[in-house]
Structure 1
């Protein structure tokens, strides 16, 4: 499943304050979160959200995962979209 987050406006200070806890949280869930990273309007811009690719059976499993993310718990995220992702190529994702 594809997981897309959008941060609240003007929240870059909160993002930076929570970054270490968030990265540690991600590291502990590498078995489920296959790819994760920030979304930016341009490479040099501040992050405005994030994107994850998650190995999950259904949407409720993704929602349960989200509920323990420090970024979500501390109010950084404005909204989230959980979408089913269907790969165009059978090869593994190389990131």
Structure 2
């Protein structure tokens, strides 16, 4: 089942996010074949990252929670707010949206 992680950063944590981003991306890379979508949440002007939105397939909610507990941003205490919800993808993914590096 896909689980969606809505994760909001603590205020004034951009430096911590940037420092840990390579480790975070490597951790995501270990489950890349199970990612439905993933990326940072941004301020309305797109200038700053303020959180993460991830949708990843796991066998159970417990497995999703365990995975998040070991995630680098979580271990460093970056997130002020964490929501995890089961998700059913009823709409096919559109192509042609720009991907950011």
For the aligned pair, the TM-score class normalised by the smaller chain equals 0.7 to 0.9
CA distance in 1, matches of 2:87, 2:76: 27
Q: How many residues align?
A: 94
> What is the root-mean-square deviation in Å for CA atoms of aligned residues?
1.8
Q: How does 1:8-87 map to 2 (within 5 A)?
A: 8-87=10-89
Gaps of 5+ in 1: none
Gaps of 5+ in 2: none
Normalised TM-score (structure 2): 0.81
Alignment CA distance shift 1:79-1:51 (3 Å): same
Deviations 1:17-65 (A, max 9, x none): 1011111111112133332100012253211101011102332111011
